[in-house]
A = this chain, B = another copy of it.
């Protein structure tokens, strides 16, 4: 079985994994050992067949007619996403959105530890926001190296995003989570995940129009 070729996992499946993980964590905390896809369907409002396919794609262990094994499924999802180890991350741009992300307590469950923030505003530099120290952007390269930071979260205005990205790439950063509404130019070995708020709005509006 272990030599079987794994199917390619779709973006849609990947995007649903954190939701499954949260539910499995919950059941685990209550001491449950198995969850059926019917139980999962009730909590996620997804079809049982979708859930089954998603979890089978990442190799979730199951027991015939009883459901997925809780501890084992947590393990394979965490492994798949690399969330069994914490990645040290930093955030650039401490505006409203940046501050909102710093205040989001859930990242540690998602393999991410935000240990530094950067801004250029004198009234922000030197502060500690939700427990994270804010440094001046001029210190970016030296702190990335000193603290061995891996993932950059960009919550900057569009106009500043590409310039900062170039600095990050020189400093060796390989993963950028981009909240600025621009397409960043990066070399092939750097991964970028772009969050575009208007994509969600487009989905909502398309659903509303099709009613």
- Point out residues on A near B: beta carbons under 8 Å: 9, 11-12, 14-19, 22, 43-45, 80-83, 87, 95-97, 99-101, 103-104, 106-107, 110-112, 151, 174-175, 177, 181, 183, 189, 191, 193, 195-209, 211
Contacts and interface: CB of A to CB of B under 8 A. Distances in A.
Nearest to A11: B203
Nearest to A130: B96
B95 A18 contact: no
Nearest to A199: B15
Contacts of A15: 196, 199-200, 202-203
The oligomer's copy count stands at 2
A14 B202 contact: yes
Contacts of A206: 9, 14, 80-81
A22 B82 CA distance: 34
A203 B14 contact: yes
Contacts of A196: 15, 18-19
A205 B111 contact: yes
B18 A198 contact: yes
Per CB-CB distance, the 6 closest pairs between chain A and chain B, nearest first, are A96-B100, A193-B204, A18-B198, A15-B199, A97-B100, A191-B207
A152 to B, nearest CB: 10
Given A18-B196, A96-B97, 19 more contacts: A15-B203, A18-B202, A45-B183, A80-B209, A81-B205, A81-B209, A82-B205, A87-B205, A95-B103, A97-B97, A106-B181, A110-B198, A110-B201, A174-B208, A174-B211, A177-B200, A191-B207, A193-B203, A193-B207
